[in-house]
Amino acid sequence: MTRHLRGNLLLLVLTLGVCCLLYPVVMYAIAQTFFPTAASGSLVTEKGADGKDEVRGSKLIAQPFTADEYFWSRPSATSPANNATASGASNWGANNPKLRDRVAQQIGPIVQYKKGSKSAGAGPEPRTPQKDIEAWFAADPTRPAEVEAAVKRVADWAGEFEVAAGNWAKTDYAAKTDTDDEKYGLQGEYIRQWAKDHPEVIEDWKKANPTKTDEPKPEDLGAVFFASFAKANPGKWPGVVEVEQPDKTKVKRIEPVSSDPAISSNLFEVWLRDPANAAKAADIEPVPADMVMASGSGLDPHITLRNALSVYQLDRVAAKRTPPGGDVEMTARGITEIARKQSFTPLGGLIGEPLVNVLELNRELDAKFPVPPPPKTP
């Protein structure tokens, strides 16, 4: 027994010494001597306003870009996007409706028709799918059949896409904290008010959910609310508008609108599957997969060159970075050249397709094609 005890203790102490002291110290010394930049996380620094070095990010870690003048990173499932202290993925399987909905909601407001296609039209301002979706969504109040179809469309959508309707209700929702009660955004409050004004909403919900006893929350009412709202405002969407009050301050509130990115975002899938729109759907320029599929870490720093140079990225960036009166084509060519120069193909070109690092690309754009200052408003 003492022999076992000695063996165990000695093995514990010796392996601890070798594996947890000697080995990491050797690794640390090698890293700090030969690869100091990599050792501290491949950080990108630049001189800040106070003359000191300021960290602007890591070459290896994606940063969120949402503005039109920047190339966008891949979608990230972390919260918030590209959270580098809580890496992770959506972990949604192919059969998860959330995956399909996320993609449809993301591409609805940005899809374009193929250049020169019949749906885009020949004019200088091509027609956009968003306009078509809104036209399809709208209803002429003088035609009862159209009104009826529009009401049914929203009710069907809200019934099938309950999660999307519930998400709308929970926009800007703040959970309960130690100091504050839970708080709903404009949307949630609007539903509450609506339910008060339209008692049938609660009744409908109770009929659909006979087993539930507690009072419904706004997100539970999402589906019945949209059905009721559509009945009152056929062909309209509850959009957020900013209104100027008599004392010149601006307030946001919800009003029935007929044009809102939320229409193309939420109803894109339904529009797409409507056989009447089949010809238009066929004319849509496909979105590159890496623009809509979330990465494994939520921090993937690259996008494919194909994605960067597609109409969904390059056109938008180039338009924003062209000075007033300048040539957008020229800017686009300049940006393309930078992207191509920065691109690389994995394993020294052996596998896959060219990729670009979004952070490095955007930083170089800021240096070479700065965003022109906005025109002065008189």
- Nearest C-alpha neighbor of 171 from the set 97, 238, 106: 238
- Cα–Cα separations (whole angstroms), residue 250 to 37, 241, 243, 377, 378: 49, 10, 6, 19, 20
| Residue among 164 and 195 whose Cβ is closer to other proteins | 164
Give the residue carrying structure tokens 């094609």: 369
| Residue among 103 and 230 whose Cβ is closer to other proteins | 103
State the sign of the Cα–Cα–Cα–Cα dihedral 176, 180, 181, 187: negative
Applying CB under 8 A, the span of 33-41, 181-189, 242-250, 330-338 interacting with other proteins comes to: 33-41
Least distance in angstroms from the C-beta of 258 to other proteins: 24
Those residues whose C-beta lies under 8 Å from the C-beta of residue 229, and which sit 6 or more positions away, are 154, 194, 236, 238, 256
Question: Cβ(42)–Cβ(59) under 8 Å?
Answer: yes
What part of residues 196-235 is at the interface with other proteins (CB under 8 A)?
none
* Binding residue (CB under 8 A) for other proteins from 64, 126, 256, 261: 64
3-state secondary structure of 369: coil
Applying CB under 8 A, the span of 84-92, 226-234, 319-327, 332-340 interacting with other proteins comes to: 84-92
Applying CB under 8 A, the span of 98-106, 115-123, 242-250, 328-336 interacting with other proteins comes to: 98-106
Least distance in angstroms from the C-beta of 188 to other proteins: 20
* Binding residue (CB under 8 A) for other proteins from 195, 201, 262, 303: 303
Applying CB under 8 A, the span of 100-108, 137-145, 215-223, 316-324 interacting with other proteins comes to: 100-108
* Binding residue (CB under 8 A) for other proteins from 188, 222, 234, 288: 288
| Residue among 147 and 284 whose Cβ is closer to other proteins | 284
- Nearest C-alpha neighbor of 204 from the set 231, 183, 172: 231
- Tell me, residue by residue from 112 to 151, as one string, x for binding to other proteins by CB under 8 A and - for no binding: ----------------------------------------
- Cα–Cα separations (whole angstroms), residue 347 to 219, 312, 350: 48, 27, 5
The reply on whether position 94 binds other proteins by CB under 8 A is: yes
